[in-house]
């Protein structure tokens, strides 16, 4: 039995271990310092990371999924199929949020301005570690839409300039481009992606075919919200880089799905820079610092 009084989570296979390691950092990271319920989640995650079973075996283990269910404080009388746009927070995150709100409210000028706000820098550093990036490459925004729109609206464009994306990118991101179309006469081009889309090379070919002399920006989704399709963002970014076109990757669903230290997010960079520790301003895959980094999803 574990310290939490439950059977040990034996035998998750390594990809599952990596997955839990990755998600453990993000939503569950606060669990270890929290309430008894959070202790249970933290102990569960700890066990799961040492589990060597195959995903198929784990899929059949109702005890395992019961623990996952218990980590969320949701209405069991409703079947919620939307865990994307309006996902519930794990219980430990929710509890931490309330705890910090209470702390703020106790003495706002002191607790909020003097204690919590300066702590944001520590959060930024931890996020950078989770992404496998340099702290200076991380900006905390309120959500993925804001982060993406800073890029989409932040690049100077002239009437007739083209932005290239797909017919399956997130509607809000398409609308951001349509806003530029109406206001500035920017041309929005959307390549069609097949469903299912099983050939990465075909995706890259379609992006390549969509590029013209007027293409000034490419937006590509890492994981498409409609289908879960993973796109070859590294290759699309290489395409843009070779032509001097900034590539913005919508990684709204990417971080928690790929291994900690995934380099996936680095393909988004519009000013490529090696993040392997040497901080040279050259692309990670062409930097001469000699550092090799583990890859994320391999795409």
Ligand X SMILES: Cc1ncc(COP(=O)(O)O)c(C=O)c1O
Binding residues for ligand X (CB under 6 A): 84-85, 143-145, 170, 172, 221, 225, 250, 252-253
Q: How far apart (Å, rounded) are the C-alpha atoms in residues 237 and 231?
A: 11
Q: How far apart (Å, rounded) are the C-alpha atoms in residues 137 and 4?
A: 39
Q: How far apart (Å, rounded) are the C-alpha atoms in residues 291 and 236?
A: 23
Which of residues 234 and 253 has its CB atom nearest to ligand X in the complex? 253
Per the DSSP assignment, residues forming a β-bridge with 219 are 248
CB of 206 to ligand X, least distance (A): 18
Which of residues 38 and 264 has its CB atom nearest to ligand X in the complex? 264
Q: Residue 280 has what DSSP assignment?
A: -
Which of residues 41 and 152 has its CB atom nearest to ligand X in the complex? 152
CB of 142 to ligand X, least distance (A): 8
User: Which residue is it, tokens 């293409």?
Assistant: 215
Residue 171 CB partners (closer than 8 Å, separation 6+): none
Residue 122 CB partners (closer than 8 Å, separation 6+): none
Which of residues 166 and 275 has its CB atom nearest to ligand X in the complex? 166
Q: Residue 256 has what DSSP assignment?
A: G
CB of 85 to ligand X, least distance (A): 4
CB of 144 to ligand X, least distance (A): 3
Which of residues 8 and 84 has its CB atom nearest to ligand X in the complex? 84
Any idea what the Cα angle at residue 255 is, between residues 195 and 115, rounded to 5°?
150
Q: Are 63 and 7 in contact (CB under 8 A)?
A: yes
CB of 37 to ligand X, least distance (A): 26
């Amino acid at each position: 039995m574990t310290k939490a009084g439950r059977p040990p989570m034996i035998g998750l296979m390594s990809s599952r271990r990596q997955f839990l390691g990755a998600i453990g950092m993000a939503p569950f990271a606060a669990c270890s310092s929290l309430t008894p319920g959070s202790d249970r989640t933290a102990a569960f995650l700890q066990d799961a990371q040492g589990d060597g079973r195959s995903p198929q075996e784990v899929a059949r283990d109702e005890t395992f999924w019961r623990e996952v269910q218990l980590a969320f404080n949701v209405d069991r009388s409703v079947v919620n199929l939307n865990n994307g746009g309006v996902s519930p927070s794990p219980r430990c995150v929710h509890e931490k949020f309330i705890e910090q709100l209470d702390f703020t409210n106790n003495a706002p000028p002191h607790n909020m301005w003097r204690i919590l706000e300066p702590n944001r820098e520590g959060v930024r550093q931890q996020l950078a570690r989770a992404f496998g990036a340099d702290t200076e490459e991380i900006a905390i925004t309120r959500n993925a839409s804001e982060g993406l729109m800073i890029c989409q609206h932040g690049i100077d464009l002239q009437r007739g300039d083209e932005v290239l994306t797909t017919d399956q990118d997130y509607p809000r991101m398409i609308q951001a481009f349509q806003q530029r179309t109406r206001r500035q006469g920017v041309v929005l081009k959307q390549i069609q992606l097949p469903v299912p889309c099983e050939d990465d090379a075909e995706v890259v070919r379609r992006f390549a075919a969509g590029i013209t002399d007027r293409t000034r920006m490419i937006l590509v989704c890492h994981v498409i919200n409609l289908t879960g399709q993973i796109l070859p963002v590294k290759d699309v970014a290489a395409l843009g880089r070779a032509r001097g076109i900034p590539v913005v990757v919508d990684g709204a669903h990417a971080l928690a799905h790929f291994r900690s230290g995934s380099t996936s997010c680095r393909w988004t960079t519009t000013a490529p820079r090696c993040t392997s520790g040497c901080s040279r301003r050259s692309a990670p895959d062409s930097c001469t610092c000699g550092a090799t980094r583990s890859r994320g999803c391999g795409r």
